[in-house]
Amino acid sequence: MEDAYFLYHSIGLYPGKATDLTSAMTAFSQVWAAPNDAQWGYLLSHRARFIDRWRGIIHAPEGTLTTTDSVTQSLHMLLTALPPETLRGRRVLVGADCFPSNHFLLTKLAERIGFTLTTVPFRQGAAHVEDEDFLAHWTPDTALALLTWVSSTTSHRIDLPAMVAHGRSVGSIIGVDITQGAGLLPFDVTAPAVDFTISTSLKWMCGTPGAGILHVAANLTSRCQPELRGWFSQENPFNWNLDTFEYAPDIRRFDNGTPGCMAAIASLPALDWHAKADHGAILAQNRRQTARIIEAADDMGLSLVTPRPEAKRGGSVMMKITPPAPQIVAALRDQGISTDARGQTLRLSPGIVTTDAGVERLCTSLNQLLRG
């Protein structure tokens, strides 16, 4: 049931999503199967609208944002486009609470590019990396730091302005993975100014798989020469002279072959919905409902891994539970309550379709299951 849906850290829902998605895919199939030449104009204009929607969400200047398949691909595209001397022999810094896929990629690229990957560890018994520990490891030999704005396993939110100010003082390239907060919490790539931003549309944006984005500030783009390049990497994609390739002057240089537009088209209805929504009301609802979940967790004597202050957390509440977590998730599912777990951590993320009554059902059912 939608009213007790707590999976916005995984897949976001909004009212009418199924209808909108069906309509978008039906329209695409009719255009793509028509015996005319209208297909590419339709696809590319919808991709451009998707890009513009995302630019509005994170206040990205024109010519600084493009589509990707995933956060991991976005990070790969950026790192492999930098001049080789940028990272070679220096350090790349990341927290132990980063999205694991990014860490898997960085470990492999460290071998090939020749940088040292430094992973800031957890404190004893902690579930997220403390800001001050990250800053202590962020020394002048750090060529690039990848910041996780909101953790996917604790919902801890970093003090981004303080992090960026420190990064500027030591001359590092600063990137931010905003996946777990984008669309719910306000974010502006220019305040504080970051060098690159990566995200997907799956979560608070309520989009589909494959609808990733890469934002790169113009002054960094001009230094990048993506190794994966193709006809869409050029100012004029229809330049087919084999000896006159030249990168586009803006973010388009990160495009390569024929763009995959399906995920953007499928996600566009969600982004259109989001553009019209009352963002303040959505955030206020989330804050009210997460506060109630925290109160209930305290009543049940559960150990929170999510910080209590609103300014230090995203839109989720995550807690340790002592019975096998998959068992609790399955039992809640049987009652029409959608949650998930990582290890023994129960993850709860209320969003626009989650009602206050659904929150109360969750609290009551969880209490009964844990007592039982």
For 65-105, write each residue's pLDDT tens digit: 999 999 999 999 999 999 999 999 999 999 999 999 999 99
The pLDDT confidence band at residue 1, using thresholds 50, 70 and 90, is low
The two three-digit tokens of residue 325, written as one number: 């977590």
Q: Helix 325-334 and helix 356-371: axis angle, to 10°? A: 130
Query: Does residue 62 fall inside a structural domain?
Result: yes
How far apart CA 109 and CA 120 sit, in angstroms, is 18
List beta partners, residue 338. 5
Query: Does residue 360 fall inside a structural domain?
Result: yes
Query: Does residue 309 fall inside a structural domain?
Result: yes
Contacts of 70 by beta carbon, 8 Å cutoff, 6+ apart: 101, 200, 210, 212
Query: Does residue 336 fall inside a structural domain?
Result: yes
- What are the pLDDT digits (tens) for 21-36? 999 999 999 999 999 9
CATH number of the domain encompassing residue 74:
3.40.640.10
Same domain, yes or no: 114 and 240? yes
Query: Does residue 272 fall inside a structural domain?
Result: no
Handedness of CA 101, 103, 109, 113 (dihedral sign): positive
Same domain, yes or no: 131 and 248? yes
**Domain span at residue 302?**
2-16+278-371
- What are the pLDDT digits (tens) for 54-75? 999 999 999 999 999 999 999 9
Query: What's phi and psi for 197, nearest 5 deg?
Result: -140, 135
Same domain, yes or no: 312 and 182? no
The two three-digit tokens of residue 289, written as one number: 């409902």
Distances (CA, A) of 138 to 69, 97, 336: 30, 16, 45
Query: Does residue 150 fall inside a structural domain?
Result: yes
Q: How far apart are the first and last CA of the chain?
A: 23
Same domain, yes or no: 222 and 112? yes
- DSSP class of 178: -
Residue that is last in its domain, among 231, 259, 287? 259
pLDDT value for 372: 75
Query: What's phi and psi for 57, nearest 5 deg?
Result: -65, -40
Same domain, yes or no: 68 and 166? yes
* Total domains in the fold of the chain: 2
Amino acid at 185: L
Same domain, yes or no: 338 and 239? no
CATH number of the domain encompassing residue 295:
3.90.1150.10
- What are the pLDDT digits (tens) for 135-193? 999 999 999 999 999 999 999 999 999 999 999 999 999 999 999 999 999 999 999 99
